[in-house]
A = this chain, B = another copy of it.
């Protein structure tokens, strides 16, 4: 078999059987080899940011990596923003970045670039395959590296001649490492903090944001009176009726400071001590209240859930978690507002849904409206690089074809990777996209004030304004093959959302919502 065939066979043997692809000439042998390995599914994205974001969303739901196929340095560059988000989500991703043939690189052909620098910027795992005989072993190493706790972006650079050369062999998977056990005594030490009588908060992230971790934390807070928070942007958060509801730490430093005020101890598990998303003149970056002590129960590459369960058994033996009751908002009526659109979603969210949430300012009131909805997963914007929502929804839908995927998407952010809609149509994915169309970079209007910028004249305002012209996302979606409607009232949104749920396949609703602020 050639290098490409050995690569794909090795990936499939390691459980990596979906490849989100945007290939070019140097990847043609990989493309041709897809037909020789029936288990591998190729999913075309029309821009690399779609491809990499889809791989992120896929792995968050599937619990195993997808491959990407990218065209040289510029293709990897186009995929970089959503790989940044994947890195922050600790998502396992296996990039296959094609490169020029080894003997061609010295000619500095037009597409030659410093692909190693671009790949290296992701601070994950990078390797270049130097010979066809190595490709299988390199691919097996890439998969293992991607899944090494807590998960990372692995990039395998595949020169065209290494791909087309003969003499490849499939290599057996390398079992991924298990998370480290938490050091003996750590749980007891943290338990002492909880028993101290001083105000304590527990901040969880990563794998703790799923049922087992949430139940353990709920037991701890029920037994000790500690506060508990979820990291601001979890990769995958399980929520809804029957699960503990735990508040997320706010995006704005002011919110987080308020949430943490008065605590003397912060116990951290599966995430880092909280810091401000951006710096602001005269405001601290570290959000831990002055004088409070931080206690790390479990780093991200440790057995976070096991540590929380052990802590719960220590301080909350026999105590049950507090579970969210089923409750939904009433269906609202009247023109859409930042307040009522979330009630429509809360009222109508289907069973077992996956929400890809890139609502930014428009979604501030969403968590409360959906807290008692049927159990669902929420995938958030982990790295702050906008343009993640539609691609992540793509990958989630590929990973879970039997679950409804709801992409709640801010208008400005949608434009970065809008062609994800075409992939929704191509693959007939059951994704309902709701665009929160407020014709502004609303979050930047707020940030312009928050950073203390002196003036806010017409030129500044024009750069934050998405009207003139207003966008019609229903037309854009139809142009890409996704049936679409426009809603301006709560009744229309409810009717269109219900209709989208009733029919399989992708739909888009352009929900015209005034800015929150």
Please judge, given known A-B contacts A107-B286, A469-B425, whether A447 and B481 are in contact too, CB under 8 Å: no
Query: Which residue of the partner chain, among B419, B425, B448, contacts A415 with CB atoms under 8 Å?
Result: B419
Given the interface contacts A74-B385, A107-B276, A454-B32, does A25 sit within 8 Å of B418 by beta carbon? no
Residues of B within 8 A of A113 (CB): 84, 121
Stretch from A127-135, A297-305, A459-467 contacting the other chain: A459-467
Question: Chain B nearest CB: distance from A282 CB in Å?
Answer: 10
Question: Considering the chains assembled together, what is the distance between the CA atoms of A476 and B425 in angstroms?
Answer: 15
Known: A81-B78, A444-B25. A35 touches B455 (CB 8 A): yes
Residue of B nearest to A477 (CB): B479
Complex interface residues of chain A between 445 and 476 (CB less than 8 A to chain B): 447-448, 450-460, 462-466, 468-476
**Contact A275–B109 (Cβ < 8 Å):** yes
Q: Does A293 contact B (CB under 8 A)?
A: no
Q: Which of A44-52, A239-247, A362-370 contacts B (4 or more CB under 8 A)?
A: A44-52
- Given A34-B457, A36-B455, A469-B422, the answer on whether A279 and B123 have CB atoms closer than 8 Å is no
State how many angstroms separate the Cβ of A361 from the closest Cβ of chain B: 12
Instruction: Report whether B104 and A88 are in contact in the complex, using a CB–CB cutoff of 8 Å.
Output: no
A115 → B minimal CB distance (Å): 8
Within the assembled complex, what's the spacing in Å between the Cα atoms of A155 and B244?
Answer: 48
Report the Cα distance A23→B412, complex, angstroms.
Answer: 12
Within 8 Å CB of A3, what residues of B?
A: none
CA of A444 to CA of B463 in the docked complex: distance in angstroms? Answer: 38
A471 to B480 Cα, complex, angstroms: 5
A470 and B463 form a contact (CB under 8 A): no
**Per-position contact with B for A21-34: 1 when CB-CB < 8 Å, else 0?**
10111101101111
User: Do A104 and B285 form a contact, CB below 8 Å, given A422-B471, A459-B42?
Assistant: yes
Bound Cα distance from A453 to B98, whole angstroms: 15
Copies in the complex: 2
How far is A291 from B400 in the complex, measured between Cα atoms in Å?
60
Q: Which B residues lie within 8 Å of A455 (CB)? A: 32-33, 35-36
Bound CA–CA A443/B71 (angstroms)? 14
Tell whether A341 is near chain B: CB-to-CB under 8 Å. no
User: In this assembly, does A497 line the interface, its C-beta being within 8 Å of a C-beta of chain B?
Assistant: no
On whether the beta carbons of B419 and A418 are closer than 8 Å, the reply is: yes
Q: Is A108 an interface residue (CB 8 A)?
A: yes
Interface bits A240-281 vs B (CB < 8 Å: 1, else 0): 000000000000000000000000000000001001111101
- Asked if A233 is at the interface of the complex by the 8 Å CB criterion, the answer is yes
- Are A278 and B109 in touch, CB under 8 angstroms? yes
The reply to whether B47 and A460 contact each other, CB–CB distance below 8 Å, is no
A121 to B110, CA, bound (A): 15
Residue of B nearest to A425 (CB): B469
Residue of A31, A276, A383 with highest tally of chain B CB at under 10 A:
A31
Residues of chain B with a CB closer than 8 A to A101's CB: 278-279, 285
A475 to B448, CA, bound (A): 34
What distance in Å separates the Cβ of A285 from its nearest Cβ neighbour in chain B?
Answer: 5
Residue in A77, A123, A472 whose Cβ sees the most chain B Cβ within 10 Å: A77
Contact B383 A110, beta carbon cutoff 8 Å:
yes
Distance to closest chain B CB from A483 (angstroms): 10
Q: Are the C-beta atoms of A23 and B444 separated by less than 8 Å?
A: yes
Give Cα A381 to B23, complex, Å. 18
Q: Is A340 an interface residue (CB 8 A)?
A: no
CB-CB under 8 A for A32 and B456, given A21-B463, A81-B77, A111-B384: yes
Contact yes or no, A31 B426, CB < 8 A: no
Closest 9 pairs between A and B when the two form their complex, measured CB to CB: A469-B481, A35-B457, A77-B80, A32-B453, A475-B479, A101-B279, A476-B479, A74-B385, A104-B279
Supply 6 A–B pairs (Cβ within 8 Å), ascending by A: A2-B454, A21-B463, A28-B451, A44-B462, A113-B121, A476-B480
**A residues engaging B (CB < 8 A)?**
2, 21, 23-26, 28-29, 31-36, 40, 42, 44, 46-47, 49, 73-75, 77-78, 80-81, 84, 88, 100-101, 103-104, 107-111, 113-115, 117-118, 120-123, 160-161, 164, 233, 272, 275-279, 281, 285-286, 382-385, 387, 412, 415-416, 418-419, 422, 425-426, 443-444, 447-448, 450-460, 462-466, 468-481
